[in-house]
Structure 1
């Protein structure tokens, strides 16, 4: 009898965890996903019949011993979905076609696995329906890429990261197993396919990182829950994590977890049109977002050091602020930002005595210029209500939060709290010292842009913001969302002439290259790095720049190779704009204008000047007529560029 009972129990275990296979395809049939549930979860992905990667050991471990991902399948179904998403701020296109197949697998243990398959990616997430709050010890995922790949990524020695490290470009055997690898993480297969790993709908949960294993796979890892925070008079260190817990999150037992996203492209160009991070995110949470305005921002961080030809001493003072505001009004720019210096870094109630804030804000309003203020996040949070109340009373239109440098659960909560409170007070946000975009801007489009990259400021202290880097950004960081690179400097330098100057940085590459970045790199809030004095001096270029939109209705990728060159055409209304950049190599291209409608168009364009290879600021501005059958040849010097505005 005892022997028979053991057999029955053994049989029960086998049948309760019996292997189950599920198959699901993308709407166009090119991507095929196989899901194996067998005492764990494994997802295999193919494209056009070729195996791309697998994600296995997909689990979430709870403190009470339960494991999401190991359980009994209750039911499953597959449905097709087709929606149109109209973003409040149009980053790439005015309308996004949100078409996908969804596999839903319910488990008897009160959780669900969702898998979505798009024509350009695969994603999965867990959804729980547990009665009590839960503590999560870890989330597991192991990814193995098939074939010969090159990898592009940022790395960090710890979870306290500004997300401003150079992109690595390595073969798998050259990747260290010691460092943390941040998202986005790009695998470029020799066959041409591209797989970009990131996440979306990150809320009340730490951001995901990965590490390479000794078996040449990549496993997920998260920052532990913060249990000891640094208290420091140094505002840059204050609020950073001194000690993490052995668990990663304490959260509601009934919730949706972040999407684990594998964006898939058949070539480099397809990465530039991918909007899956946005598509997977929580829908709009602001009832009336009509007050949210995109635009160009002048700001005084370096610019105040380059003012000349005035009758006042430049600095952080009222006269300089008015000078920037007058400049913004003249060219139709929307914002002026006070950066570091307007207040005490640790106490935002202490205002620089050289500034008459009431006078400045009244003056800005008379010119229809919106004012933004920079703040270190930890200093702001110390008097959360008081600072928001003061800013609202002054009529401040936006805040640039800086130096968060974390993505643990508590910091992710800060981003959501800031977005929600700022929206309530009709303020826009720009996050610096920030982790990558993970979809929050769809729920709260008042988050207009963020950092999370090496941007123009690094020209003041390093050589890392160079044309090669510029040709990595569209294929990596930009896939996840808008980025505050701060393009168009008038202080241009070729490689041999460049040197870092902290207070008066120059840009690497030609004038045309610098301006073309404003079309290629997406940001509905685009900041200008130089002094108004410089832009007045270069009036022809500044007037051209002032006609460039910051949001777009459509995108066409004309030429693309990750790390080497990028040519993009974007449409705003009926007008088209083209931006072209190269790395430190001279290149020639023939452009076709078959994306235009019928009829004649006038094209005004800026190209590298005949001496731009030796004097980077040299450029030519020309115009000609074009039609949709026109073809023209363009020449880009090393570090060069080309940009055009095409109107009917």
Structure 2
């Protein structure tokens, strides 16, 4: 026993000596609060501290390419450092200027590869970079997050690599996550005094990452990366045979160019919950725009599928027909709504060159053009993939503005390549893209600014046919899902249920929570193609709401997170030009929020406030509109009813 202790001490001493011998310099964020320490022993490890608090214990990383494990004992031949302080000016975003300040360390290894670490003030990221000849196969990537304690994990468990990211979030200790019920990303770890989020950025020609917890001998709370293997065989399946279900996978993850940069592994650090609601590190890490996108026009969309083409008081039979589409176009024109989406049903689902009998898309495009309204068309993903060249050329000839592509439900390498290939080809035809039934964004919207939105969320559509989206869920996705990028939740329900009063109706759907929560979503949820999910005749009953929906922007010049707590409530301020908007969403607990207006300019301003009515806890559709003068020295106090919200416009 004594000999074993001596031997163990010797091994630890040798490991420590080698650890010190590597002598890799630490990396700090520009403000000095985040520190990344990198060590090389049997392989590479890194740890992360925030304000001298360890938030990530030494975690291993490696990449296996053509059966060679990168990061294993290869010598570091050089350490390259650089600092960046610049401003990104996006074509569209929730900021017109994005500060891009970071420090970077690149470790160059013998063997033609390197690893790059970046430290921002709000997080860190690393990625592999290779310079191999020809194509290579990636067998594995070792990604591990070793947390110091068994913290609460807020995650989106899927249990299948064929997923559309449309589930509720669960909250449980890290070690309760089972390998069979792994989770998509982003996830949030609730550490002491701060939140830590894990996601990825600049994903291309490579599968998306998931996380699981392996029970290991140490019994520690480790999260480990999982990746879908390359799909070798697929068959049609799922709802309406709209999916291509993978029936056989290869023994490797990706076959790709040997000279490339791999996806960023991102760790976001938020001292306050509210900081998560306006974080855009994923956008900063993405590749720059691939083309001049000055022609891309974000906007609001009148949408017919959610409300089941239900119009009242009209003199024609509502449905998938020319009269109904023209009514939607006329409605959009009257209220300055940019687009009308023709969803499922306008064409044969498996031949988008074949419109439904009686539907004349070119005529509708011309009808809309005369009224300043553009047309978007829905498609099944494997249909447009098969007919891409013909379909996109035809849509451009017709004058269509863009496509909504649905039911991908995968992010293996084949699916990820489809996202980018469609974005690139659509841009050649000046077509916008909205992805539904898709994986989370990773910055593709920066690289291809014609990609305006992604679903990848349990949105309002679920209120049509299953258990409803709860107000707590609607709060959570502001903090978690939106870390990844734009989110097509499709808000705007005008039938609103107080707690305990919800019922499912496919043709007359409602939301769970108050009407003002639905209005608050137009400010809190960032969606450059923002839907009006309910019927025109529903909105026209409420001229004050319709005026607000006509005017509220979809992109912004400035965003300030004001207040909030994950799972409870969120308060965001956004500016467009000289006008400020403030949105808030609440869970089922009534609360009064105090909004500090010090961010607005001096002097008197006119505020229009949509607030929960006095009886909104009993009738979800009860709301009030209050107009009053405000200034930057007097806070606003707003009562949010259970499941409530608010939408405020300040001139």
Separation in structure 2 between the aligned mates of residue 614 and residue 70 of structure 1, nearest angstrom: 65
Cα distance change on mapping 1:628 and 1:145 into 2, 3 Å: same
Residue 169 of structure 2 is matched in structure 1 by: 167
Are 2:461 and 1:460 equivalent residues in the alignment?
Answer: no
Are 2:265 and 1:263 equivalent residues in the alignment?
Answer: no
Residue 7 of structure 1 is matched in structure 2 by: none
Residue 405 of structure 2 is matched in structure 1 by: 401
| Residues 423-462 of structure 1: per-residue CA shift (max 9 Å, x gap) | 1110110000111110111110111011011000001122
Residue 240 of structure 1 is matched in structure 2 by: 245
The residue matched to 2:355 in structure 1 has which SS? coil
Residue 207 of structure 1 is matched in structure 2 by: 208
The residue matched to 2:248 in structure 1 has which SS? strand
Unaligned runs of at least 5 residues, structure 2: 1-13
Residue 61 of structure 1 is matched in structure 2 by: 64
- Answer whether contact 1:235 1:379 (CA < 8 A) is retained: no
Residue 181 of structure 1 is matched in structure 2 by: 183
| Residues 442-500 of structure 1: per-residue CA shift (max 9 Å, x gap) | 11011101101100000112234121001101110011111001112111111211012
Are 2:565 and 1:555 equivalent residues in the alignment?
Answer: no
- Answer whether contact 2:19 2:39 (CA < 8 A) is retained: no
- RMSD, aligned α-carbons: 1.7
Separation in structure 1 between the aligned mates of residue 360 and residue 135 of structure 2, nearest angstrom: 49
Are 2:575 and 1:582 equivalent residues in the alignment?
Answer: no
Normalized against structure 2, the TM-score is what?
Answer: 0.95
Residue 438 of structure 1 is matched in structure 2 by: 442
- Answer whether contact 1:303 1:532 (CA < 8 A) is retained: no
Residue 149 of structure 1 is matched in structure 2 by: 151
Give the CA deviation at 1:16: 13
Residue 225 of structure 1 is matched in structure 2 by: 230
Give the CA deviation at 1:65: 3.2
Separation in structure 1 between the aligned mates of residue 71 and residue 234 of structure 2, nearest angstrom: 30
Residue 199 of structure 2 is matched in structure 1 by: 198
Are 2:356 and 1:355 equivalent residues in the alignment?
Answer: no
Residue 9 of structure 2 is matched in structure 1 by: none
Unaligned runs of at least 5 residues, structure 1: 1-10
Separation in structure 1 between the aligned mates of residue 31 and residue 111 of structure 2, nearest angstrom: 34
1:320 corresponds to which of 298, 315, 324: 324
The residue matched to 2:133 in structure 1 has which SS? coil
- Answer whether contact 1:116 1:122 (CA < 8 A) is retained: yes
Give the CA deviation at 1:176: 2.0
Are 2:574 and 1:573 equivalent residues in the alignment?
Answer: no
Are 2:303 and 1:302 equivalent residues in the alignment?
Answer: no
Residue 24 of structure 2 is matched in structure 1 by: 21
Give the CA deviation at 1:235: 5.1
Separation in structure 1 between the aligned mates of residue 113 and residue 512 of structure 2, nearest angstrom: 52
The residue matched to 1:301 in structure 2 has which SS? coil
- Answer whether contact 1:104 1:115 (CA < 8 A) is retained: yes
Residue 538 of structure 1 is matched in structure 2 by: 542
2:339 corresponds to which of 328, 331, 335: 335
2:619 corresponds to which of 609, 615, 620: 615
Separation in structure 2 between the aligned mates of residue 201 and residue 592 of structure 1, nearest angstrom: 36
Separation in structure 1 between the aligned mates of residue 92 and residue 269 of structure 2, nearest angstrom: 24
| Residues 77-124 of structure 1: per-residue CA shift (max 9 Å, x gap) | 222111100111122x11111000000110011001100000000100
Are 2:373 and 1:369 equivalent residues in the alignment?
Answer: yes
1:15-164 equivalences under 5 Å are 19-54=22-57, 56-91=59-94, 93-147=95-149, 149-164=151-166
| Residues 138-175 of structure 1: per-residue CA shift (max 9 Å, x gap) | 11111111235211111112111111111111112332
The residue matched to 2:348 in structure 1 has which SS? coil
- Answer whether contact 1:454 1:485 (CA < 8 A) is retained: yes
The residue matched to 2:426 in structure 1 has which SS? helix
Separation in structure 1 between the aligned mates of residue 439 and residue 531 of structure 2, nearest angstrom: 19
Separation in structure 2 between the aligned mates of residue 553 and residue 399 of structure 1, nearest angstrom: 26
- Answer whether contact 1:272 1:474 (CA < 8 A) is retained: yes
Separation in structure 1 between the aligned mates of residue 460 and residue 373 of structure 2, nearest angstrom: 24
Report runs of 4+ in structure 1 exceeding 6 Å deviation: 14-17
**Aligned positions, number:** 632
Cα distance change on mapping 1:16 and 1:641 into 2, 3 Å: closer
Give the CA deviation at 1:238: 4.5
Give the CA deviation at 1:398: 0.5
Separation in structure 2 between the aligned mates of residue 526 and residue 105 of structure 1, nearest angstrom: 43
Give the CA deviation at 1:32: 0.9
Bigger shift: residues 630-639 or 474-483: 630-639
- Answer whether contact 1:377 1:404 (CA < 8 A) is retained: yes
Cα distance change on mapping 1:232 and 1:121 into 2, 3 Å: closer
| Residues 393-429 of structure 1: per-residue CA shift (max 9 Å, x gap) | 1111100000000000111100110010011110110
Cα distance change on mapping 1:98 and 1:233 into 2, 3 Å: closer
- Answer whether contact 2:468 2:512 (CA < 8 A) is retained: no
| Residues 48-98 of structure 1: per-residue CA shift (max 9 Å, x gap) | 01000136221111234343454111100222111100111122x111110
Separation in structure 1 between the aligned mates of residue 556 and residue 235 of structure 2, nearest angstrom: 42
Normalized against structure 1, the TM-score is what?
Answer: 0.95
Give the CA deviation at 1:281: 0.4
1:278 corresponds to which of 256, 276, 283: 283
Residue 644 of structure 2 is matched in structure 1 by: 640
Give the CA deviation at 1:517: 0.9
Residue 8 of structure 2 is matched in structure 1 by: none
